[in-house]
């Protein structure tokens, strides 16, 4: 597989150069790191994203991988350190572009959203040159790095009670192929319905790229604000697997012994609390449930009486449950997707 990007395609690979952020004149057979500058904080401190680039000796696909677009989702940061430090230009075909922390302001505050505008940075792609902070950052990342890509992996985490899985777009065969190559046990095929459009799912990086014909996947690798070794190991192995599938690296992929379970739906296919209190779950990630099966209950801290029993609205697979027992009205408690 070779790059479908038009830039410099008439020039031999070893004579081309690329510019990404502060990195200019990047050449084949090189490994470099630099910065993408977005602007500055009020005190003049630059707001910047680190970027790492590995360019192989031989022509091949361009793979872009990022993590921490939600600032508290840090397993992907360590995944990318392990990948970048293990891949050398001499063994690579094509180019690997890595941004370990997309949402730097949220990352340093240990929070999901960008504190500069309280925005979810995974709802604003491809961004705006003159928009709010999150739009501006997304625009810079896209224009200066992501636009080179033939394939994109956007590393996320959900929570510690959610099964590791990979999301790709409904009917997108190229994205499904790299999702399968990544090598987790659960795949989630998402169709952007009108309900999801109202929740701004069209502004997710993966969905924007899919609309542009770029294969993209979203692996979900565990919990927040902590490193989970097994999830990190599987994430690093998954990125390497995709690179092997794309013939960027030689060698056999390491895949699960059993074929993956494929689900249909989204992260908004949830059971919601109608009452506040303390949530006690009867199910866990990976359980199969039937319609009307009890899922758990909410009890009052004032009386210790149960104020709400929750049941499965349909047959399905428990993708995850809330990891916070303290519940307010309207909180999401169980994510159930259909087979």
- Residue pLDDT, tens place only, 183-194: 999 999 999 988
Q: What CA–CA distance (Å, rounded) separates 317 from 163?
A: 10
Q: What is the pLDDT along the chain (339 residues), one digit of tens a residue?
A: 444 454 556 899 999 999 999 999 999 999 999 999 999 999 999 999 999 999 999 999 999 999 999 999 999 999 999 999 999 999 999 999 999 999 999 999 999 999 999 999 999 999 999 989 999 999 999 999 999 999 999 999 999 999 999 999 999 999 999 999 999 999 999 999 888 998 999 999 999 999 999 999 999 999 999 999 999 999 999 999 999 999 999 999 999 999 999 999 999 999 999 999 999 999 999 999 999 999 999 999 999 999 999 999 999 999 999 999 999 999 999 999 999
CATH of the domain spanning 270-337, picked from 3.30.1330.30, 2.40.50.140, 2.40.50.100, 2.40.128.20:
2.40.50.100
Give the HSE-up count for residue 300: Cα atoms under 13 Å, Cβ half-sphere: 8
Q: Is-contact 296 273, C-beta < 8 A?
A: no
Residue-range domain boundaries for the chain: 13-264, 270-337
Which residues, 6 or more positions from 124, have their beta carbon under 8 angstroms from its beta carbon?
A: 131, 132, 134, 135, 138, 203
pTM equals 0.94
- Residue 6 is predicted with a pLDDT of 47
Q: Is-contact 141 51, C-beta < 8 A?
A: no
Residue among 94, 86, 97, 92 at smallest CA distance from 36? 97
Show the tokens assigned to 235: 């994430």
From residue 302, how far is each of 13, 158, 299, 307, 309 by CA, in Å?
69, 31, 9, 11, 17
Same fold, 13-264 and 270-337: no
Q: Is-contact 165 184, C-beta < 8 A?
A: yes
Q: What CA–CA distance (Å, rounded) separates 33 from 241?
A: 23
Q: What are phi and psi of 99, to 5 degrees?
A: -115, 105
Q: What CA–CA distance (Å, rounded) separates 108 from 144?
A: 23
- Residue 10 is predicted with a pLDDT of 80
Q: Angle CA(247)–CA(252)–CA(257) in degrees, nearest 5?
A: 130
Q: What CA–CA distance (Å, rounded) separates 6 from 202?
A: 26
- Packing angle, helices 229-245 and 75-86, rounded to 10: 50
- Residue 194 is predicted with a pLDDT of 87
13-264: CATH topology is: Aminopeptidase (3.40.630)
CA gyration radius, the chain: 21
- Tell me the β-bridge partners of 40: 46
Per-residue b/e over 214-236, b at no fewer than 16 CB within 10 Å?
A: bbbbbbbbbbbeeebeebbebbb
Q: Is-contact 188 218, C-beta < 8 A?
A: no
- Residue 9 is predicted with a pLDDT of 63
- Residue pLDDT, tens place only, 18-76: 999 999 999 999 999 999 999 999 999 999 999 999 999 999 999 999 999 999 999 99
């Amino acid at each position: 597989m070779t790059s479908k990007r038009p830039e410099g395609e008439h020039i031999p690979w070893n004579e081309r150069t690329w510019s990404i952020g502060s990195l200019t004149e990047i050449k084949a057979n090189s490994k470099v790191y630099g910065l993408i500058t977005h602007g500055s904080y009020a005190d003049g401190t630059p707001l910047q994203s680190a970027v790492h680039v590995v360019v192989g000796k031989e022509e091949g696909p361009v793979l872009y991988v990022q993590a921490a677009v939600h600032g508290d989702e840090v397993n992907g940061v360590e995944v990318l350190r392990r990948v970048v430090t293990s891949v050398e230009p001499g063994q690579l075909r094509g180019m690997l572009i890595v941004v370990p922390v997309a949402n730097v302001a949220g990352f340093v505050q240990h929070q999901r959203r960008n504190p500069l505008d309280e925005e979810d940075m995974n709802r604003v792609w491809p961004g705006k040159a003159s928009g709010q902070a999150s739009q501006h950052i997304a625009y810079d990342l896209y224009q200066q790095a992501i636009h080179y890509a033939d394939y994109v992996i956007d590393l996320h985490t959900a929570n510690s009670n959610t099964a590791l899985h990979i999301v790709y777009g409904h009917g997108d065969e190229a994205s499904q192929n790299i999702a399968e190559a990544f090598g987790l046990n659960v795949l989630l095929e998402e169709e952007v319905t009108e309900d999801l459009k109202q929740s701004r799912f069209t502004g997710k990086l993966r969905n924007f790229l899919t609309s542009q014909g770029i294969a993209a996947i979203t692996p979900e690798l565990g919990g927040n604000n902590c490193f989970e070794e097994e999830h990190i190991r599987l994430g690093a192995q998954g990125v390497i697997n995709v690179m092997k599938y794309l013939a960027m690296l030689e060698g056999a992929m390491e895949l699960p012994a059993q074929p993956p379970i494929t689900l249909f739906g989204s992260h908004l296919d949830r059971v919601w609390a109608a009452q506040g209190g303390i949530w006690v779950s009867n199910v866990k990630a990976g359980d199969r449930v039937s319609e009307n099966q009890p899922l758990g209950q909410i009890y009052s801290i004032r009386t210790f009486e149960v104020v709400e029993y929750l049941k499965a609205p349909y047959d399905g697979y428990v993708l995850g449950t809330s990891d916070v027992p303290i519940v307010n009205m309207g909180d999401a408690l169980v994510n159930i997707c259909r087979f």
